[in-house]
A and B are shown apart, each in its own frame.
Chain A
Amino acid sequence: MTRLSDLYLRALLRLLPRRFRKRHGAELLAVTRRMRCDLGPSPGPAVLARFYATVTWDLVRHAPWQIPGGRSKNTVTSPLERRIDPVMKRPVGFSWLDIKLGVRMLARYPGIAVVGTVAIAVAIALGTFYFEAVNKFREPGVSAPGGEPLVSIHNWDAQAGAPEPQALYDFRVWSREARTVDNLGAAHVFVRNLATGDGRVEPVRGAEITAGAFPLMGATPLLGRTLTDQDEDPAEPPVVVLGHALWKSRFDSDPGIIGRTVKLGTVDATVVGVMPEGFSFPATQRIWAPLRVNPAATLPRQGPPVAVFGRLVPGHSMTEARAELAAIGERLAAAAPATHENLRPLLTAYGNPLPGGGQAQFVNTILTVVNGIFLALLAIISMNVATLVFARTAGRGWEISVRNALGASRTRIVVQLFAEALVLTGLAAVVGLVAAKVALTQGLGMMQGSGALPFWIDDSLSWQTILYTVVMTLFGAAIIGVLPALRATRLNVQEALRNAAAGRSSLRFGGFWTTVIVAQVALTVALIPLALNGVSQSNRFMQRAEGIGAERYLAASIGMNREDYASDAETFNAHARFSFEELERRLLAEPGVEEVAFADRLPVEDQFKYAIEVDTTGGVPATGSQTSTMVQVSENFFDTFGTSVVAGRAFRPLDFEMGNVILVNQGFVQHVLEGRNAVGQRVRIAGGENSSLTGDTWYEIVGVVANFGWQLPSPAEQAAIYRPRLPRADAAMKMAVRTRDPGSFGPRLRAVALGVDPRIQVTEVQPLARVGGGEATTNWALTSVVWLVCLVVMTLSATGIHALMAFIVARRTREIGIRSALGATPQRIIRGVFARALLQVGLGIVAGGVLAALIGFESIPTLLGAGAVMLVVGTGACAVPLRRALRIDPTEALRSEV
């Protein structure tokens, strides 16, 4: 006999009680082997299949319910007792046999097994994915190679409520005085243009970093060397170390790269080393240069912004390190109150976001709430599955009653039903974990494509996440197993046995289960509009570039890197303004380029919303919408996108200096001003995305432009304000170039920018028609998840209603028979039996409508549609039990009860 079939038989044997197995296992296997040999040396597949099927059936039909645990001498066992599984007689507790029974129950009710497993798996996968993703970004737990935790030290400005990034002075003090944190290092991260000999110019993320960071991370170079303390001396020639990805993509993994010169920003530097794959310290960096600012010469709150990091000295806790740094901070504040009165060193685990602050608390609240939503989803789905399990448990009323009568405690039965549920949720947890892992790998893979992921983010599942999944599994099993078990075992034993003998079940679908079914119908009805909304969003993403001819534009993000912190910010900004103007001039001189415009958001991108206030002092009524989008644009923005001023005037150069006038679109006139004349009215920005724009300033409307370039979900959202702004170095900015061939102009754009100023960074270069692709993908993924959940909940609703109705029909067979015999019409029977299901569906639809309205979906046709879908699903679920009820033969029904 083959090894495989031996393994199979051994696995099957595990289903039998241990005592029986120990007593007869070896002989049983030997007999089976001999029977297999008797089939001949090469029996046909049909013969073999029949043999194994018969042997399997022989084993399964005797497994545990039927076999007494073994012979007990000197005790008399009644036939009835022999039918009861031995688990019952054990003390309360969990046993392997409980689990085996659970497996058998799954096999016996494959419908519940499949629907339940898929539904729970979806809920667990969502919860697990979310938990892991949040933890990866919030508490990554980065450690040094020796396992000691890495820490970040921020200089928290209590007055500003934000960290003070210019912390080189403090870094020097902390390095000298701290005993609980060692190997302190600092890094100034940047994005600079990297120009190579082949004429390619691309911005790369890098860091000016202290040499100690490399040994701190235990990193040894793949080629050449890492940075040294000597490199930090400004008198030494400039050097850089390349990251693996950069070396591979920009230098074709050239083994002779060491010693070559590259231009990083404005500096020609020699490549001295290449780091191995995976090294991108401090987070996502691809190139490293020495931090060449002598901390001793840096004054407090001066110099480049730096991130300070170090290693927690073994034997010290985070609390001790925090206390020590707090003491150092207090000493500094006392010694230099002018600069340090409000500064406090703040220690966090490396990679964790900064604690404190209203926004951080807000984020924490949101994260907790979302976690709660996933748990609630799991609870609802579990309750739905519990409905199915309850219907099944009701069918097992006889078994439960007999066990009760024979002395099995209520706890014993509850534990066993919990174990059965645990098998189901355990299976679902495995499926859910695999799905979460796949989603994580795919999701991170998509993000990794842009190279924006910190090095500590990988697709592994942490032990905390596994633990969380285990908790969810137990939680789900508790709902699925314990609720039905408690209800099933609450019965009076004698009555239950009497009913069981008469073939009836004593269990009833009471108010609790009605509530569960109503809840699941409501959830489905509320989810359908959400899912539909996702689809309409997707359509909007696809259509939003319509109307402006987005295919004619090349879009890019543009910025300027301040490499030199010796000059002040004002000088730098003035320089930047000049550079951007020069860039615009040179681009317009390029063949094929028609227009160039700058703005903080381009037309196809999602726009920032602001709360606004219209000046009513001139007698203007305060009616109409109080929100509008706002875009800050350069002078020729409207010309570039081919729109025109329909009233008032366009921006003039002086407007860009004063900054107190705005243009609005026709949507604004229509929805905010309700058609009144806009020119001359004043608007204040009361709140919104960019806090620097909000305040008491009144902006005067000087002109009105046509609506363009943005398919908005509702007309009321089409109000837009345009504010004049020159391109600046200290704010995020986008650029649109109208050209004959946007697809191929990207490299030329970069080359022109490099020619103007090597510090200009041109990133995210892509045709305007493709901008927002990431948002569309995210929207698609979220919509898919909502649809999936919607589908799962709807399937559960249908199966739940089906189970309920089938159960009711089975329970009321006699009654239906009598009514039928007495001449009741099918309509009356349907009304009598199915009114309840329809009532539940109806209640659910109403509750779902209310829920959807509360979430913010007020579209009556959508809600009616969702209700209709649920009504069809609910009625469909009743169909099979309905047919069964109508086919009940009165004489048969009455006879079966005698």
Chain B
Amino acid sequence: MKKAWFHILLVVARGASHGAEIQRQTAERTGGEVTLYPVTLYRALDELADAGLIAETEAPGDEQHNEKRRYYLITPGGQEALVAEAAALEEAAREAKAAVRAARA
């Protein structure tokens, strides 16, 4: 899974969100390590939607005034993909730790 996909899925898994918010939360969560540049971000959103991992949704009630923004929410397929990716990452992390431990021992 592309890095951008993973970070987007992470944000929209918590609730409906739009592009700018996804970018802000990602930067915040990674301490500025990951920046989703605009075209990369929106292209990834299109790709995720195409792949059925996220879906466009209505704007939350309190943000109705801003019609330009598109809100996205994770789909069940997206949740599965995110969990699978997280599991793969966990597995990779476990393997990495084991490898380092073995090397030190």
Contact = CB atoms under 8 A, between A and B. Distances in A.
B41 interface: yes
Contacts of B46: 20, 23-24, 67-68, 70-71
A68 B43 CA distance: 9
B105 interface: no
B38 A32 contact: yes
A55 interface: yes
B17 interface: no
Contacts, number: 58
B49 A28 contact: no
Given A55-B37, A71-B49, A27 B43 contact: no
A26 B68 contact: yes
B40 interface: yes
Interface string A10-28: 0000001000100110111
A696 interface: no
A59 B39 contact: yes
A28 B42 contact: yes
B43 A66 contact: yes
Contacts of B50: 68, 71, 77
B24 to A, nearest CB: 8
B23 A31 contact: yes
B70 A27 contact: yes
Contact of B42 (A27, A54, A55): A27
A89 interface: no
A31 B25 CA distance: 13
A28 B39 contact: yes
Contacts of A71: 46, 49-50
A58 interface: yes
B40 A27 contact: no
A59 B40 CA distance: 8
Max chain B Cβ within 10 angstroms of own Cβ: one of A20, A54, A58? A58
A30 B68 CA distance: 10
Task: With a 10 A CB-CB cut-off, give which of A16, A27, A59 has the most chain B CB atoms.
Answer: A27
A549 to B, nearest CB: 77
Contacts of B97: none
Nearest to A32: B38
Interface string A57-76: 01100110011101100000
If over half of A's interface residues share one DSSP class (helix, strand or loop), that class is named, otherwise mixed; here it is helix
A32 B49 CA distance: 22
A83 interface: no
Contacts of A34: 20
Contacts of B40: 58, 62
Given A27-B19, A71-B49, A62 B43 contact: yes
A71 B41 CA distance: 15
A71 B18 CA distance: 17
Given A24-B19, A27-B19, A27-B68, A58 B49 contact: no
Interface residues on A, range: 20 to 34
Given A20-B46, A71-B49, A27 B39 contact: no
B94 interface: no
Interface string B34-58: 0001111111011001100000000
A30 B41 CA distance: 13
Contacts of B18: 27
Contacts of A59: 38-39
A55 B43 contact: no
A567 B42 CA distance: 94
B59 to A, nearest CB: 13
Given A24-B19, A27-B70, A67 B43 contact: yes
B26 to A, nearest CB: 12
B68 A58 contact: no
A472 B59 CA distance: 55
A207 B59 CA distance: 84
A237 B65 CA distance: 88
B29 interface: no
A55 B43 CA distance: 14
Contacts of B49: 71
A358 to B, nearest CB: 69
A58 B37 contact: yes
A31 B43 contact: no
Interface string A34-66: 110000000000000000001100110011001
Interface in A746-780: none
B67 to A, nearest CB: 10
Interface string B63-96: 0000011100000000000000000000000000
A25 to B, nearest CB: 9
A280 B73 CA distance: 79
A67 B42 CA distance: 10
Contacts of A66: 43
Contacts of B42: 20, 23-24, 27-28
Contacts of A63: 39
B82 to A, nearest CB: 20
A31 B41 contact: yes
Among B18, B20, B69, find the residue whose CB has the most chain A CB atoms closer than 10 A.
Answer: B20
B40 to A, nearest CB: 6
A138 B69 CA distance: 63
Nearest to A57: B37
Nearest to B46: A71
A661 to B, nearest CB: 92
A67 B46 CA distance: 9
A701 B1 CA distance: 103
Contact of A16 (B20, B39, B68): B39
A814 to B, nearest CB: 35
Nearest to A59: B39
Contact of B20 (A30, A54, A67): A30
Contacts of B68: 26-27, 30
Contact of B39 (A23, A30, A58): A58
Nearest to B69: A27
B78 to A, nearest CB: 15
Q: Which of B39, B40, B50 has the most CB of A within 10 A?
A: B39
A114 B20 CA distance: 40
A65 to B, nearest CB: 12
B72 to A, nearest CB: 12
Interface in A780-823: none
A830 to B, nearest CB: 47
Interface of B: 18-20, 23, 37-43, 45-46, 49-50, 68-70
21 contacts: A16-B39, A20-B42, A20-B46, A24-B19, A24-B42, A26-B68, A27-B20, A27-B69, A28-B19, A34-B20, A35-B23, A35-B38, A54-B37, A55-B37, A55-B38, A58-B40, A62-B39, A62-B40, A68-B50, A70-B46, A71-B50
Given A20-B46, A34-B20, A54-B37, 17 more contacts: A23-B42, A24-B19, A27-B18, A27-B42, A27-B70, A31-B20, A31-B23, A35-B23, A55-B37, A58-B37, A59-B38, A59-B39, A66-B43, A67-B46, A68-B50, A71-B46, A71-B49
Interface of A: 16, 20, 23-24, 26-28, 30-32, 34-35, 54-55, 58-59, 62-63, 66-68, 70-71, 77
In the A-B complex, list the 8 residue pairs whose CB atoms are closest, starting with the nearest: A58-B37, A24-B42, A62-B39, A28-B38, A31-B38, A26-B68, A59-B39, A31-B20
